[in-house]
Amino acid sequence: MKLLDLLARACAVLAGVLLTLITLMTCASLLGRNTVGTTLVGDFELTGVATGAAIALFMPWCQLRRGNIIVDFFTARASARTNATLDRIGAVLLAATFALLAWRTTLGALSAWNGHTESQILGFPEWVVHTAMVPPFVLTALIALRQAAFGFGDAPEAHA
């Protein structure tokens, strides 16, 4: 689990760096637009690309920390064993979902690569974004599988 933890942390740090860079770029673009009348060309495209990648990069850390929304209205009075079983089932379903996302995103990256698709203004290759999303999706699936198999142990719970 230490390796998964390290990789999830690295993904989260990279996501934070991406969002910080986007924030700085947006500020520069707004300052330029409102002071000298010029803006950064393609800032909207870069914001979309980096935000999508950042969301994918935050997913492993979110799953590791059990930061997903849990609606326990119906299970609030259930036994600890029942809740643990339901949590493990949820982890299996989440692992399957992220494995599916990784697979389909890989296919999307291959399609974008073969089709040479690019963003409209900057000509940024779309396959790069898809490819960047696959490893965090796979990592999220692996973390969820490990949690389903071995439980959540002493992992801090965001909802506790």
**Is residue 124 a contact partner of residue 45, using CB atoms and an 8 Å limit?**
yes
pLDDT at 155: 54
Distance CA 73, CA 52 (A): 31
Taking only the tens of pLDDT, the chain with its 160 residues reads: 799 999 999 999 999 999 999 999 999 999 998 899 888 888 889 998 999 999 999 999 999 998 877 777 788 888 989 988 999 999 999 999 999 999 999 999 999 999 999 988 888 899 999 999 999 999 999 999 999 999 886 554 444 4
Q: Which two tokens stand for residue 122?
A: 């900057």
Domain boundaries, the chain: 2-150
First to last CA, the chain: 21
**What does the radius of gyration of the chain's CA atoms come to, in whole angstroms?**
19
DSSP 155: P
Q: What does pTM read for this prediction? A: 0.86
Other C-beta atoms closer than 10 Å to the C-beta of 76 total 8
